[in-house]
Amino acid sequence: MERIPGRMTESKDRDTSDLPPLLERSERGERSAIDELLTRLYDDIHAIAVRELRHERFVTMRPTALVHEAYLRLAALSEIRFADRAHFLSMAARVTRQVLVDEARRRRADKRAGVSVTLTEANLGGDGAVYDALDVELMLTELAGYDATAAEIVSLRVFGGLSIEETAEVLGLGVATVNRRWVVGKAWLGRELSRGA
């Protein structure tokens, strides 16, 4: 299997048979199991960070720093029960996105430019336009008010770098359903972002 940098396939190439017992131990609140899960899936989380930062011109955060911040936040989640590897990595993608949004808020509060998100053909079908991460976050929140499934799919695809198949697995939906909601969500987001441009 050819590896695509920034895709969530790294641990799929390795033996992950020990993940289910780790997930069960983490459900019982065993701190060591959560730490071990984070360590075992570090490469996948790093791939998410690389994906998030690949086209960012104004972000000073490096992928490793983004991974470490996401790692700390994931380790602090004590009430979340992870069903499987895909669920764990979808949460990592959400946390990574939130780290970038928080960084944009911090920078905005410091009266500097916010963190930008570059939407390209690869992640939204755009033309490489650069948008403020907070604006994209606000649009996704608004989209969730109309179509929560489409918003979640767009978030996982754009910010998490998941394929259609990986998104379907994470959300427990069929590939055809994910494809339909993806088309709707990305069209809505593209239209709304172009209005604000």
Residue 63: its H or E element: helix 63-75
Whether pLDDT at 144 is above 50: yes
Is residue 171 one of the residues assigned to a domain? Answer: yes
pLDDT at 4: 37
Q: How far is residue 61's CA from residue 40's CA, in Å, rounded to a whole number?
A: 23
Is residue 97 one of the residues assigned to a domain? Answer: yes
pLDDT tens digits for 170-182?
Answer: 888 999 999 999 9
Q: Which domain holds residue 18?
A: 11-196
16-19: long-range contacts (C-beta < 8 A, 24 or more apart)? 16/40, 16/85, 19/84, 19/85
Residue with more model confidence, 174 or 137: 174
Least confident of 7-16, 45-54, 73-82: 7-16
- The candidate with the shortest Cα–Cα distance to 47, out of 77, 15, 8, 78, is 8
Q: How far is residue 115's CA from residue 129's CA, in Å, rounded to a whole number?
A: 14
Phi and psi of 118, rounded to 5°? -95, 120
Is residue 19 one of the residues assigned to a domain? Answer: yes
Whether pLDDT at 11 is above 70: no
Q: How far is residue 162's CA from residue 97's CA, in Å, rounded to a whole number?
A: 13
How many domains in the chain? 1
pLDDT at 196: 61
Helices (H), 122-162: 133-146, 148-158
pLDDT tens digits for 84-129?
Answer: 888 888 888 888 888 887 877 776 665 545 555 555 544 565 555 6
Is residue 41 one of the residues assigned to a domain? Answer: yes
Residue 36: its H or E element: helix 31-40
Q: Report if pTM > 0.85.
A: no
Model confidence at 58, pLDDT cuts 50, 70, 90, reads: low
Is residue 169 one of the residues assigned to a domain? Answer: yes
Is residue 30 one of the residues assigned to a domain? Answer: yes
Mean pLDDT of the chain: 76
Is residue 115 one of the residues assigned to a domain? Answer: yes
pLDDT at 108: 65
Is residue 5 one of the residues assigned to a domain? Answer: no
pLDDT at 117: 57
